[in-house]
Each structure stands twice: as structure tokens, then as C-alpha cells.
Amino acid sequence: MKQRKSQPKNNRYYIRQVTGGLNGAVAGSPTIAGANVLANCVGYANGRFNEIINDPELKGIEKRFRVQLICNAENFIESAKRQGLKISSKPTLGGIMVWQKGATLDGRDGAGHVAVVEAIYKDGTILTSESGWGSRDWAFKNLRRNNENGRWDQNELYKFRGCIVNPSISGGPIVPPKLLVDGIGGTETVYRMQEFFGTTADGVISSQNLNLRKYYPSLTAVQGGSGGSPCIKNLQRWVGASQDGVLGEKTIKAWQKKLGVEADGIFGPKSMKAWQKYLNNNSKAVYPPTPKTYKVIDISEFQDEINWKKAKADGVQGAIIRCGLRGAGSGKLKTDSMFLNHIKGAYKAGVPVGIYMFTEAITAKEGREEADYAIKLWKTAGVPISFPIGVDSENVFYYENGKKIAGRANDTKLSKTKRTAAIKAFCERIKEKGYTPMIYASTSWLHNQLDMSKLPYDVWVAQYNDVCQYEGKYVMWQYTSEGRIAGASGNIDINHCYIEPKKVDPPK
């Protein structure tokens, strides 16, 4: 530990939080420019204690306060004990010496004094650094103190109470301060929250949509912006919500549920108190295990010949191949022109395969027809499949040569009820035949165009984003349509698959 022998200046350990610093103390008297908690023994000792913890060699490193001691000087010991710090009856290096003034600890007969121990000498004397309220001729000084009078050189109005041990010097753990359970999520609560989730700790939740503040009125240390906060992304991962980094009603409800309070979507004082208590009793987040994913591509006749050996060597662990579709003009079912080529080539190279049908069904009857057709095509290929059989539901326009086709509806004008019925018929037919169905659609389509409460099947989501925001469960996520793999030209759809593909032995 390097001794401080000069007055700090432009150092955030000695600048108040409300003016961009780290110190929670009141302004000094008189206030010193560049160190506005001076002149004041409390503000100085508070800053120096944390400076020693975080920057023992005075290299200008600034990290968050580990301990905020911002009461009257003589009450530092009680505050330190609440924050898990040890108290010594003798001065300790880097510790805070505490003196009581008067007969009581209520401040009416004096607020006491504190000083930081910079050195302990063999002759029993010590060197302190300190400040003093109302000290017009000095805001910082070093004093050589001895204990000949039993008060470490303080006069008879003062009583030495003990020394708060600096955990970084004693070799003990640096105990995070206990949060005040007041239901207000200010700077200190956010500091602890950021440490809990292992992100940069600056005391502010940044990059939030402030129009959503109605959902978290008790969280005050928040700044607007875009892009989301890494801390909130980790919170969302912890509670099992979509990880976009932005606090909203769904994240708040999941957070409340995790804390065991009423999940009403409003993070008010009651929820914040539960969160502050949780942070006081837990140091680091324990995340649910990250699910294992498999790299799976999906292709159709829009992709040319693929060198499957190269694709497999490039990490492709499966391929979902379009088998067929319904011709919008004729309404007749037809085979994808590259289906047999793709599925046999992948199988020959030992790449597990699956199939999907591009649905253009507008009735339950047509949904069943498409399911039967998909199974027929798979059996014709004679290749074992390793994934559920998919039905691709998305925006389909029934037009030909710019004119609406008589007798066929524009799918966007189908009611959600009819569209859901057609998809349900497909999936139920697949189940009747002894196989597992799977619904493919975009996040928006799943949320708005299908009644997923009536479709209890595996889901394959398409959303080209860093996070998948589908609210339900899903077994596969198509996260890009612009992927590249060895052995194929042009863009390829790539998916995170969360179910292990059934391994198959390639033909000999």
C-alpha cells in the first residue's frame, strides 16, 4: 500500500456521486475544488478507505465503492459492522480510526472524528491521513500520532473507539456492503446488481426505453438509449426471459416470479425490497445451464448442388430439406425439384436429415393432404429422418401473373382460426402416422397469425436477431438467412437446433 501524502484532486473517490464521483458523502466545508467531499473527515476517510481497497498503489484506477460510510464519524463502527467489516481495538494499516466526541453517540454532543492509518512504526507511533470539517487552513494532512494519552493524541473531549479493518490489507475477503432495504433502486443497488450479474459496475442501468419505466418505478438509476444493457441481458438469462437487454413487462414478471413476489408486472417498492434482500444474501448469479445446440441448415431447390462432405467438415450437424409444396395456381401438390438430390447426398455423407412441407393449405382437408404428401415423399426417398416433420407456415400470396387466382384465398386474408385449423390438421395427421410434427414460422407470425394455444407441437422459430424473442418454447431457431458453409455457394439458412439429431449410418 502506497501512502497518501498529498491532497487528492480530480479523483472520483473524493468526489460526490451527485457530481459524477463515487463518494456518497456530503459536500465538505469549505468545499474543495476537485475533491468536493473535503474539508470533512467523513468524506475523506470514506474515499481513502475505498481507494486503498481498489487502488493500493495510487495508480489512478477508479472502481466502485465497496463500502459507503457516510454517517457521523463516531458512528462509523456501527455502519461498518452492518456491512460485514471487522473492528480492531488497535490501529491497523489502511484502517479507519474512530473517535467518539462527548458522552453519547447521537451527535448532539459532537460528531466525532475519523482518520486513515497510512503507516505503523516500530516505536508504536502511527502515521494518519485525514481531513476535518470547517478546516479553513487545511483540507488534508498527515499526522504522526502516539498513544501516550490513551486517545491517540486527541484531546479529552474524544474517546478512541477502535479501528475499522481494511479487508484488502488484512488479507480477508472484501465484503460487499449490505444494501439498505428501502425499496429504492438507486446507484448502490444497481452497483450490487451489476456485480451480481458480472457486468461492468458503474451504478447505472443504461440504454433503456424510458417509455417502459412504468413497469419499474422503484428502479431510479436508469438512463435512456438504445441497444439494451449487458446487466439486463444477464438478468433476463437468469430469469429465463428473452435476452434483448431492455426492461419491459415480460422481463419484470419473470423477475418477480424468480423472487417469489406477486408477478403483476410492476416492479414497485415491495419487489425492490425483495431484490435488495436477495442481493444482500447472494453474491453471484447462478444461471441455468446453457442448452447444447447443433448446427443445422435448411435448404430447398433455391440451393444448388452441395458438397456434403465439405459441409459436414465445416460443422454442419443436420439438414432440414423442403420436400414439397402446393402449386398456388393449380392447387396441386408437387415435389421440390432438388429434394431427392439434397436428401440422398446428405444421407450418403452421414449428415442427419429432416423434411418440411411448404404449406399453402387454406382448409383442414388440404392440411391433411399436405401431411400425407410429405410422408409419401420421405418414404420415396428411402432415407431415415432424424428430426420432426416440419410444416412451413408463412405469408403466401395466391396470385399468378399479377392476378388473383379464382377459388383460392390470399393467405394473409385467412382468419387466424382457419389458418390454425389447417396447420393443426397437418400436425395431427403426422401424429396419426406415428411421427412428430413441427411448426415453422417467424416470431411475429407465431405471435399474431396462429393461435398457438391450440397447436401443442414442436416449434421452429425464424428470427434474424441476436436473441430469439418468441414467447413460447421452441426446439429450433433459424437465426440467419445469410449464412455461409463450405461446399455450398450463396446464402444458407442456419439454425440453432436444441434437440440432438438421431444419428444414422450412411449407406455402404
Do 439 and 364 reside in the same domain of the chain? yes
20 in the Ramachandran plot: left (φ > 0), alpha (ψ -120 to 50) or beta?
left
4, part of any domain? no
Do 80 and 197 reside in the same domain of the chain? no
pLDDT at 401 over 80: no
Confidence band for 6, pLDDT divided at 50, 70 and 90: very high
Tens of pLDDT, residues 189-237: 998 899 899 887 778 899 999 999 999 999 999 999 999 999 999 999 9
- Look at 106-120, 160-174, 367-381 and tell me which has the smallest mean pLDDT: 160-174
Check if the beta carbon of residue 47 is closer than 8 Å to that of residue 58: no
Task: Retrieve residue 462's grid coordinates.
Answer: 425464424
CA distance 203 to 221: 7
- Residue 444: give its domain's CATH number: 3.20.20.80
Q: Which is it for strands 318-326 and 158-164: parallel, antiparallel or unpaired?
A: unpaired
Do 135 and 200 reside in the same domain of the chain? no
Do 160 and 200 reside in the same domain of the chain? no
The single residue listed with the C-alpha cell 429432416 is 354
CA distance 470 to 241: 10
Structural domain total, the chain? 3
Do 329 and 440 reside in the same domain of the chain? yes
The 10 Å Cβ neighbour count of residue 199 is 16
When pLDDT is averaged across residues 270-280 and rounded to a whole number, the result is: 96
Query: Which among 281, 309, 342 is the end of a domain?
Result: 281
Confidence band for 330, pLDDT divided at 50, 70 and 90: low
When pLDDT is averaged across residues 30-42 and rounded to a whole number, the result is: 95
Compute the Cα dihedral for 193, 199, 205, 209 and give only its sign: negative
| pLDDT in the model for residue 121 | 87
Contacts of 508 (CB under 8 A, 6+ apart): none
One-letter amino acid for residue 476 of the chain: M
| pLDDT in the model for residue 323 | 97
Domain span holding position 121: 12-170
Q: How far is CA 472 from CA 24, 102, 246, 469, 475, in A?
A: 44, 65, 19, 9, 10
Tens of pLDDT, residues 422-458: 999 999 999 999 999 999 999 999 999 999 999 999 9
The single residue listed with the C-alpha cell 470514506 is 46
Check if the beta carbon of residue 248 is closer than 8 Å to that of residue 214: no
Contacts of 402 (CB under 8 A, 6+ apart): none
Confidence band for 414, pLDDT divided at 50, 70 and 90: confident
The single residue listed with the C-alpha cell 466526541 is 101
Query: Which helix (DSSP H) or strand (DSSP E) does residue 272 occupy?
Result: helix 269-281
